[in-house]
Structure 1
Amino acid sequence: MEYMLIIGADESNPAPGPGEPGLEEAMGAWTAYTRGLFERGVFISGGSLQPSATATTVRRAYGAEPAIIDGPFAETKEQLAGFYVVRAADLDEALALATELPIPAGSVEVRPIAMRPDETGAPRLVS
């Protein structure tokens, strides 16, 4: 089964950026975590995101034209910061992988993936 580990973080306490103290240590933890996923053969994809201030949201209501809105849709303290898609035998294994994420604070939502496109673009159920 495939699961998405959805990482939420409080942007008022950002991770260190290029040239800032602590960057190398923070990146080392993430690199080690990601390498571990590769070594276990469970990594499918993942990525970190730019801050929510860079987001643009396309919002659609039934019967209406899409509206394009600057900024993120969610109005919460935590914003979507990144994600991993992993292969796990079951929810317990996916939760174990999520607890290993090196986030100093924030949340990780673990959600099963229902379907995704195959090489031709056709949807396929994920089991």
Structure 2
Amino acid sequence: MAEYLVLIYENENDYKNAGPNVYTEVMEAHGRFSEKYGAELKGGNALHHADTATTIRGDVVTDGPFVESKEILGGYYVIEAADLDHALEIAKAVPARFGGVEVRPVMVFDGS
């Protein structure tokens, strides 16, 4: 089994403009996802809004995210899957109402 990072990118403004029930619906969808794939989930978290980000390039620190983008990294899951196809099957079920997800294998180092 290998580990994969599932990055959730969404448009934060869509949440701000949505009705009050949307956040509840999305959180319930994440709960259902966690229940269904609990055995494969190794961790995950939501992130605060992008306006709380701080970016460091070299020794320069700036407020906010570095990249201007419509979709912002809003959370992630670490999953364990047999292979990339299995990881993609799981990732397709990740709630991302206002965007999409990116799946990347986690590097394993042999310790040397």
TM-score (norm 2): 0.87
- Corresponding residue for 2:46? 48
SS of the aligned residue for 1:104 comes to: coil
- Corresponding residue for 1:73? 66
- Corresponding residue for 1:101? 94
- Corresponding residue for 1:91? 84
| 1:16 and 1:22 in contact (8 A); partners too | no
Q: Which structure carries more relative contact order (alpha carbon 8 Å, separation 6+)?
A: 2
| 2:15 and 2:22 in contact (8 A); partners too | no
SS of the aligned residue for 1:87 comes to: strand
Gapped runs of 5+ residues in structure 2?
A: none
| 1:15 and 1:23 in contact (8 A); partners too | no
How far residue 23 of structure 1 moved from its aligned partner, in angstroms, is 3.3
* Aligned pair partner of 1:58 in 50, 56, 59: 56
- 1:16–1:27 distance in 2 versus 1, CA, 3 Å: farther
- 1:13–1:37 distance in 2 versus 1, CA, 3 Å: same
How far residue 21 of structure 1 moved from its aligned partner, in angstroms, is 2.6
Superposition RMSD on alpha carbons, in Å?
1.9
Gapped runs of 5+ residues in structure 1?
A: 61-65, 116-123
CA distance in 1, matches of 2:100, 2:52: 21
Q: Kindly tell me the number of residue pairs found equivalent between the two proteins.
A: 108
When Rg is computed on C-alpha atoms for both structures, the one with the higher figure is 1
SS of the aligned residue for 1:102 comes to: coil
TM-score (norm 1): 0.77
Moved over 6 A (4+): none
